Structure 1
Amino acid sequence: MNNLIITGASKGMGREIAKAFALQGLNMALCSRSYTELLKLQKELQAINPGIRVLIRQADASNKDELLAFAGYAEQELGFISVIVNNVGMYEPSSILDDEEDTFQKLINTNLMPAYELYRYFGKTMMAEGRGHIFAISSVAALNPVVQAGTYTVTKFALRGLTDVMRLEMQPYNVKVTCILPGSTLTDSWSGTDVSADKFVLPQDIASAIVCAYNMSPGANVDEIVMRPVSGQL
């Protein structure tokens, strides 16, 4: 049985991705800053598929020590981790010149560092096993800069670049790397909006796309998935 880890798993895209992989029969380790939300999700996932193991750990993925402790816990309890979903991220609506003093480091630590560190932690094991699949949730901001969220855009560009490097490094070892670039997606960052849900990409759509890429034949890698609202960005 394959084993999966997801960062930032308790809400939005992470939650739906976990549910989709539960239906696929994967054991999983999930982290989030909210242990209460993780407990709720754990019960939901075990109801979806009682035959899988669902481990949870409260961890702030933007904190390197907590992130690596989570990675070690997942590996110790589940064994070889064959799927990584780098989901954790944050959006900061600010131009670069108006950023707070800590904005750059905060966004680097949240949007880029976890994917980098988990790759370094698990990458050589995946190489030795000759299999695995790494997913990273970037953004269409990595394709079309959002000046109203300048530093966010920079970090998502960097995350996309990281996935390109990982893909090339992993190609000789049959390890797959897929970058997801969603447009306006109905998550907590849109809380309170008056815009109808059918104008958004939904978290379930992201989960479906990831599982579809995961289920491709061994010789096929989906490099990138770009997904925008049918009527355009909001």
Structure 2
Amino acid sequence: MKNVLITGSTKGMGRSIAIAFANEGLNVAICSRNEQELLNFKEELELIDAGVKVFAMKADGSKKAELLKFAAAAEAEFGFIDVVVNNLGTFIPSSILDDTEDTFQIQMNTNLMPSYELYRYFGKTMANARKGHFFNICSVAALNPVPQAGTYSVTKYALLGLTRVMRLEMQEHGVKVTAVIPGSTLTDSWKDAVVDKNTMVLPEDIASAIISIYRMSTGANVDEIIIKPAPGQL
């Protein structure tokens, strides 16, 4: 049985991705800062398939030590991690000149650092095994910066750049790397806005795309996939 590790896994896209992989029959490793939310979701995932194991650990993925502790614990529980989904992210709407003192560091630690550190943690093991797949959840802000979310755009640019480097480093070792680039997606980032869900990408759409890519033959890799609302960006 194969194993997937997902960050930012109890809400929004991460939640839908975890459910999709459980339905696919993979063991799932999830983390969250909210222990009760985590345990509730663990139970929900276990009901999907009695054969699927779910490893849940309270951890703040934006803190390197906690992130790597989670990665090591999941590896100890499951063995080889076949798929890593770097989904953890935060959106802070602010122009760079209006950023608070910690805005830059918060977004670097949440939007970029986890993907970098989990790549360093799992990359050599995957390369030696000549198998594995990294999915990094980027953003259309990495392609077209949003001035109302300047630092967010910068960190997503950096994440897309990291993903491209990862792919070049891994391709000779048979390890796949995919940048998932969503547009306006109905997640907690929009919880205070009045929006029509029929004009947005849904978290389930992102999960569906990832599973379709995961199912492809050994010789095929989707480098980057852009998923935007059919009526255009909000």
TMscore range, shorter length: over 0.9
Partner secondary structure for residue 88 of structure 1 = coil
Q: CA deviation at 1:182?
A: 0.4
Structure 1 runs (4+) greater than 6 angstroms displaced: none
Alignment of 1:122-137 (within 5 A): 122-137=122-137
Partner of 2:66: 66
Partner secondary structure for residue 144 of structure 1 = coil
Q: CA deviation at 1:96?
A: 0.4
Question: Does residue 143 of structure 1 match 2:168?
Answer: no
Q: CA deviation at 1:38?
A: 1.1
User: Distance between the aligned counterparts of 2:69 and 2:150, measured in 1?
Assistant: 31
Alignment of 1:81-120 (within 5 A): 81-120=81-120
Partner of 2:211: 211
User: Distance between the aligned counterparts of 1:31 and 1:188, measured in 2?
Assistant: 17
User: Distance between the aligned counterparts of 2:209 and 2:120, measured in 1?
Assistant: 25
User: Distance between the aligned counterparts of 1:8 and 1:78, measured in 2?
Assistant: 19
User: Distance between the aligned counterparts of 1:97 and 1:194, measured in 2?
Assistant: 27
Q: CA deviation at 1:37?
A: 1.2
Q: CA deviation at 1:34?
A: 1.1
User: Distance between the aligned counterparts of 1:195 and 1:110, measured in 2?
Assistant: 26
Partner secondary structure for residue 9 of structure 2 = coil
What percentage of aligned pairs have identical amino acids? 63
Deviations 1:122-142 (A, max 9, x none): 000001100000000000000
Question: Does residue 51 of structure 1 match 2:51?
Answer: yes
User: Distance between the aligned counterparts of 1:192 and 1:84, measured in 2?
Assistant: 30
Q: CA deviation at 1:35?
A: 1.2
Q: CA deviation at 1:192?
A: 3.4
Partner of 1:163: 163
Question: Does residue 231 of structure 1 match 2:213?
Answer: no
Q: CA deviation at 1:40?
A: 1.4
Partner of 1:13: 13
Q: CA deviation at 1:194?
A: 2.0
User: Distance between the aligned counterparts of 2:49 and 2:35, measured in 1?
Assistant: 21
Partner secondary structure for residue 45 of structure 1 = helix
- Residues 32-41 or 13-22, more deviating: 32-41
Q: CA deviation at 1:17?
A: 0.2
Letter in 1 for 2:115: A
Alignment of 1:25-36 (within 5 A): 25-36=25-36
User: Distance between the aligned counterparts of 1:46 and 1:184, measured in 2?
Assistant: 30
Q: CA deviation at 1:224?
A: 0.6
- Residues 190-199 or 202-211, more deviating: 190-199
User: Distance between the aligned counterparts of 1:178 and 1:103, measured in 2?
Assistant: 27
User: Distance between the aligned counterparts of 1:2 and 1:195, measured in 2?
Assistant: 38
Partner secondary structure for residue 218 of structure 1 = coil
Normalised by the length of structure 2, the TM-score is: 0.99
In the alignment, is the contact (CA less than 8 A) between 1:8 and 1:33 conserved in 2? no
Q: How many equivalent pairs are there?
A: 234
In the alignment, is the contact (CA less than 8 A) between 1:182 and 1:227 conserved in 2? yes
Structure 1 residues without counterparts, runs of 5 or longer? none
Normalised by the length of structure 1, the TM-score is: 0.99
In the alignment, is the contact (CA less than 8 A) between 1:143 and 1:157 conserved in 2? yes
- Residues 12-21 or 185-194, more deviating: 185-194
How well do the aligned residues superpose, as a CA RMSD in angstroms? 0.6
Deviations 1:11-58 (A, max 9, x none): 100000000000110011101111111111111111111111001001
